[in-house]
Amino acid sequence: MDLGLLQRELAELIGVAAATIHNWECSHARPNSMHIPKIFEFMGYDPFDGELDSGYSTICKMTFGDHIRKKRLDLGITQRNLAKQMGVSVDAIRDWEKDRTKPQTEHQNKIVDFFEYNPYHVRDVQCGGSM
């Protein structure tokens, strides 16, 4: 995309320093989760759509961890903030996102509230399989 914007102009739109834009463009740094929604808004689409390893895979290929990571990044919140919201440790969120562990039953209602849908049944409904 070539809109002829200067790095400082793009930085103002997203709410970061011009040096941050430079670092992202040169792959010296990756955007923080809180900047993802603004980046998607600016671009007009999700550039990660369909890439399984980025956590932004198509719905039928998504693991439970992909669902958590995608929703968290869409909301622009950190693992730490989500952990606080869920009443669990940051390590628990990290393990869920990497599909190392599944949330305990006691956390499932909070997860459904967070997603505003039941991620445990998405594949059954939309893909004809089970997660």
Note the pLDDT tens digit of each residue in 58-80: 555 677 888 888 888 888 888 99
Could you tell me if 37 and 74 are in contact, meaning their C-beta atoms sit under 8 angstroms apart? yes
Residues above pLDDT 70, as percent of the chain: 73
How much is the pLDDT for 29?
A: 74
How much is the pLDDT for 88?
A: 92
Read off the pLDDT of each residue in 105-125 and give the average, rounded to a whole number.
68
Residue limits of CATH 1.10.260.40 in the chain: 52-126
Read off the pLDDT of each residue in 117-128 and give the average, rounded to a whole number.
52
CA end-to-end distance (rounded Å), the chain: 37
Which of 31-35, 59-63, 91-95, 97-101 is predicted least confidently?
Answer: 59-63
**CATH superfamily to which 52-126 belongs:** lambda repressor-like DNA-binding domains (1.10.260.40)
Read off the pLDDT of each residue in 78-106 and give the average, rounded to a whole number.
89
How much is the pLDDT for 117?
A: 67
Distance in angstroms (rounded) separating the CA atoms of residues 42 and 62: 25
Read off the pLDDT of each residue in 39-55 and give the average, rounded to a whole number.
59
